[in-house]
Structure 1
Amino acid sequence: MSGDEQWRLLEQLVQEVNQQTEQLKQMQDKMRDLSATSRSKDGMVSVTVGPQGEVRTIDLDPRVYRKLSPSELSASIVEQIGKAAGQVRGDMKELMEPFVPGLPTDDLFGEAMNFEAFLQRPGRSPGPRPPM
């Protein structure tokens, strides 16, 4: 292989790495912006969660206090949080699948899935991997 061919190959590899790095950055941005909202069948409770399953908003219809007991309201809120978190996990899985081909994504995208755990931060050694 000539020197020119080696340089072209190196330039091609650098281009591919840069392209993949940009795609990963875009995926990270999309993941940070992920959210899902779940509304109860009766429309009384609506919950929005973020990419880590954190509750961002809980919206209650003003009539909820007349229609549901405290325990029913609590159960409805918890149910909507679970549904919205499941939606976010599904969206996250869909975003990451092209970057983790062949890996058991169902195991990776369980309730405790945390994308940042897969990334090594500059100047830090990788931490322990989450149990599978």
Structure 2
Amino acid sequence: MRIAILSASALLLTACSGGPTIVNSDLQHHHWNLSAINGVAIASEIKSDLEIAEHFTINGLAGCNRFFGSATLEGNRLVADPLASTQMACSPAEQKVEHAVLQTLGKGATVNNNGNELELVGAQYTLTYTLADWM
């Protein structure tokens, strides 16, 4: 009886924890292409990507401007330090994508990694990335 209660408690705690914890090596050395924001596919002419490298440096294309900096991963939460970026003029559509990416990275997001798909769930935006390749 005691073993059954302990087993049930362990299952309940695992279910409530939100799944397995993401570790740095799960995300490093990958190149991800943004495919959707809040479940809506981004226009094919807009390019946005994300790379996470050694020592958890990050860089990518937000919408029309490149960004770079570093991030931390605590539990399943990714937070970028203040990011540097280029300052080119963007179309309104590119600017919307860029705003969503930079805000989500800067304010932090819960990470869901399903192998070929990376989802960053922020307070306002959910960014869905598709694995492009290994860096």
Larger relative strand fraction? 2
The alignment's TM-score, normalised by the length of structure 1, stands at 0.29
The alignment's TM-score, normalised by the length of structure 2, stands at 0.29
Larger relative helix fraction? 1
Larger-gyration structure (1/2): 1
